[in-house]
């Protein structure tokens, strides 16, 4: 095995991929297991650090009645693990631009009207590999609580699993990102220090300091 130059990997475990059983070394991730089996995984691999959402999978452990969603780069292989790879996010993104005026929940509904159809089944929250309470965020969207929605989606990796499992065709991750952008762009309080610094720089406030610093540090 050619995984990052290492090491003393020993025992094998049996995993099931697409209904076929394979033996792979224990202690490695599902992605590394796929490489071990000779699969390149081009469309199912990205950052390898749990941040990009490219490697969504369904897994089921022995004795578990229902499969669970997960990220393949963040899941270790284990005896009897049953794995199915999911295609990457196919939900449609609305061309949701930032508005000129302070946003409200109607700003979101304009682009993602189906959000109102949420029946609060909770499937999205169960599906989220980041542990976001997605359904709570969708309910907050309906109440127009954009800052709360924004905060909930802070760790969202845009894998799209929440949209994939939604019976009502809601696209929670896309709503969440738009809510975050709206909240960021229309933040209720100005970053005064930053704006002052920009004014100082354009007014040439640092010229003397630059002259002496550049003289002292030379031209390397």
Partner 1 sequence: MSELEASKKRVNDSRAGRKGQDMPGLAPDVKEALVHRYHPDYKNEAYATIRVGPNKGERTVHEVVRLLEGISPFADESVSLKPTHEVDVLIVGGGGAGATAALTAKAAGVNVLMTTKLRLGDSNTVMAEGGMQVAVAPEDSPVRHFVDSLKGGQMANDRPLLKTLVEEGPSIAKWLIEIGVLFDREEDGNLSLRGGGGSSMPRLLRCKDYTGLELMRVLKDCVLNEEVNVLEFSPVLELLTDGQGTCTGAILKNLDTNQLIIVKAKTVILATGGIGRLHIQGFPTSNHYGATGDALSMSYRAGAVLTLQDTFQYHPTGSVFPEAMAGLLVTEAIRSAGAHLLNVNGERFVYELETRDAVASAVIRECLEGRGIETPSGRKGVWLDMPLVDLINGEGTLKNRFPNMVRQFSRYDIDIEKEPVLIYPTLHYQNGGVKIDVDGESTLKNLFVAGEASGGIHGRNRLMGNSLLDIIVYGKRAGEAASRRSSDIEAGALTLDHLSKFQAEQKSAGVVSKTVSPMLFPDYVNKN
By CB under 8 A, the residues from 186 to 205 that bind partner 1 are 187-198, 201
Burial class (CB in 10 A: 0-12, 13-18, 19+), 95: exposed
Spell out where the chain has E strands. 12-17, 20-25, 56-60, 68-71, 82-85
Q: State in angstroms the smallest separation of the CB of 136 from partner 1.
A: 16
Chain residues 11-50 in contact with partner 1, contact rule CB under 8 A: 27-29, 32, 35-40, 42-43, 45-50
DSSP 79: T
DSSP string covering 130-148, please?
T---HHHHHHHHHTT-HHH
Phi-psi region of 169 (alpha: psi -120 to 50; beta: other; left: phi over 0): left
State the minimum distance, in angstroms, from the CB of residue 119 to partner 1: 27
Nearer to partner 1, 167 or 184 (CB): 184
Q: Is the peptide bond before 160 cis (omega within 30 degrees of 0)?
A: no
Nearest to 41 by CA among 26, 27, 57: 57
- x/- contact string, 142-181, with partner 1 (CB under 8 A)? --------x---xxxxx------------------xx-xx
x/- site string to partner 1, residues 126 to 145, per CB under 8 A?
----xx--------------
Identity of the residue, 29 or 115, whose beta carbon is nearer to partner 1 in the bound complex: 29
Per rule CB under 8 A, is residue 4 in the interface with partner 1?
yes
Q: Which is nearer to partner 1, 119 or 191 (CB)?
A: 191
């Amino acid at each position: 095995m050619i995984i990052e130059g290492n090491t003393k990997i020993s025992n094998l475990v049996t995993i099931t991929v697409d209904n076929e059983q394979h033996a792979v070394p224990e202690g490695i991730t599902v992605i590394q297991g796929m490489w071990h089996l000779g699969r390149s995984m081009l469309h199912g691999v990205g950052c390898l650090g749990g941040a990009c959402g490219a490697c969504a999978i369904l897994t089921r452990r022995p004795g578990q009645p229902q499969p669970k969603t997960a990220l393949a780069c963040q899941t270790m292989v284990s005896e009897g693990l049953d794995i199915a790879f999911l295609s990457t996010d196919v939900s449609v993104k609305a061309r949701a631009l930032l508005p000129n005026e302070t946003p409200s929940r109607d700003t979101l509904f304009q682009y993602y009207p189906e959000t109102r159809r949420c029946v609060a089944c909770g499937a999205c929250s169960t599906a989220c590999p980041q542990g976001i309470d997605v359904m709570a965020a969708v309910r907050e969207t309906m109440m127009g609580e954009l800052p709360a929605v924004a905060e909930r989606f802070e760790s969202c990796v845009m894998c799209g699993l929440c949209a994939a499992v939604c019976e009502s065709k809601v696209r929670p991750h896309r709503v969440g990102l738009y809510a975050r952008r709206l909240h960021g762009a229309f933040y209720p309080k100005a970053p005064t220090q930053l704006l002052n610094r920009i004014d100082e720089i354009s007014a040439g406030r640092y010229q003397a300091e630059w002259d002496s610093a550049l003289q002292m540090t030379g031209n390397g």
